[in-house]
């Protein structure tokens, strides 16, 4: 059971690093090292006995902390990607849409220029 818990966490971290969009990073290494340390601490604090609830709780805590660490790393990476790639693109798209809508509001030409009647020459009065 103990090896199974460790294998599930480390297998998930490996699959994410190998099959995911990013390579194995220092954060994943740090999360794995913390997880392994936590599992070793559980081994020392709660020697294996059948139906040992203390050991099971410690293993659950280690798995939770490992998953939280991996999720935080993914969140940080996502935030970095959003700031680097998506925000500038959204700002550019918003500017393009604003210019497009301003064209409807103000008509062709400069925004402060009023459309002229085709029947009269510019500058003539009614």
* Whole-number percent of the chain with pLDDT over 90: 31
pLDDT digits (tens, 9 = 90+) for 44-96: 888 877 668 888 889 999 999 999 999 998 999 999 999 999 999 999 999 99
Q: Which residue has the higher pLDDT, 35 or 104?
A: 35
Query: How many angstroms separate the Cα of 72 from the Cα of each of 20, 76, 96, 102, 110?
Result: 16, 6, 34, 42, 49
Residue 117 covered by a domain: no
Instruction: Please count the structural domains in the chain.
Output: 1
Q: Is residue 122 predicted with pLDDT exceeding 90?
A: no
Q: Any residues with CB less than 8 A from the CB of 46 and at least 6 apart, and which?
A: 52, 54, 55, 58
* Helix count and strand count (H, E) for the chain: 4, 0
Please choose, from the candidates 100, 103, 120, the residue with its C-alpha nearest in 3D space to the C-alpha of residue 111.
103
For residues 33 and 40, the answer to whether their CB atoms sit within 8 Å is no
DSSP letter, residue 22: S
Q: Look at residue 36 in the predicted model and tell me its pLDDT.
A: 92
Q: Look at residue 18 in the predicted model and tell me its pLDDT.
A: 46
Q: Is residue 118 predicted with pLDDT exceeding 80?
A: no
Total length of the chain:
126
Q: Look at residue 15 in the predicted model and tell me its pLDDT.
A: 47
Which structural domain range is residue 27 located in?
2-75
Residue 83 covered by a domain: no
Residue 124 covered by a domain: no
Residue 126 covered by a domain: no
Residue 54 covered by a domain: yes
Residue 20 covered by a domain: yes
Residue 82 covered by a domain: no
Q: Bin 100: left if φ > 0, else alpha if -120 < ψ < 50, else beta.
A: alpha
Residue 89 covered by a domain: no
DSSP letter, residue 82: I
For residues 33 and 62, the answer to whether their CB atoms sit within 8 Å is no
Section 103-116 average pLDDT: 65
């Amino acid at each position: 059971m103990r090896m199974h818990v460790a294998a599930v966490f480390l297998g998930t971290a490996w699959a994410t690093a190998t099959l995911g969009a990013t390579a194995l990073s220092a954060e994943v290494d740090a999360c794995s090292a913390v997880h392994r340390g936590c599992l070793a601490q559980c081994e020392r604090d709660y020697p294996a006995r059948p139906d040992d609830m203390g050991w099971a709780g410690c293993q659950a805590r280690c798995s939770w902390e490992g998953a939280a660490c991996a999720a935080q790393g993914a969140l940080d990476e996502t935030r970095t990607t959003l700031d680097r790639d998506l925000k500038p693109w959204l700002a550019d798209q918003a500017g393009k849409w604003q210019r497009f809508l301003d064209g409807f509001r103000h008509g062709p030409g400069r925004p402060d220029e009023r459309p002229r009647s085709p029947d009269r020459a510019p500058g003539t009065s009614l």
